[in-house]
């Protein structure tokens, strides 16, 4: 039996991150996950409330680690990190 692990990617959808492009980054994550269609891990993609680090936005939380100043160009590397972490 194959073990599946659940991992999480949460994009801050607070006002500041929204204005800095969080919706586009969310779309980029969804497109990257669709492209990979990885079935060794389940990644839950979702939004998050303001993480109180607005000046460093866009903020993305991956498996409870915070990443700052995220752009769409960072998305493939962040998905790699998400899949690699235990």
User: Which positions lie near ligand FES, rule CB under 6 A?
Assistant: 12, 14-17, 50-51, 53-54, 57, 59
Residue nearer to ligand FES on the CB measure, 17 or 26: 17
Residue number of the CB closest to ligand FES reads 14
Residue nearer to ligand FES on the CB measure, 66 or 83: 66
Residue with tokens 């994009």, as numbered in its chain: 11
Closest approach, Cβ 55 to ligand FES, in A, equals 8
Residue nearer to ligand FES on the CB measure, 47 or 76: 47
């Amino acid at each position: 039996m194959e073990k599946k692990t659940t991992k999480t990617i949460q994009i801050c959808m607070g006002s500041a991150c929204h204005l800095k492009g969080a919706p586009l980054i969310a779309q980029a994550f969804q497109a990257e996950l669709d492209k990979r269609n990885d079935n060794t891990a389940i990644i839950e993609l979702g939004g998050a409330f303001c993480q109180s680090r607005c000046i460093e936005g866009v903020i993305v939380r991956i498996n409870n680690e915070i990443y700052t100043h995220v752009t769409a160009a960072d998305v493939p590397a962040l998905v790699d990190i998400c899949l690699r972490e235990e």
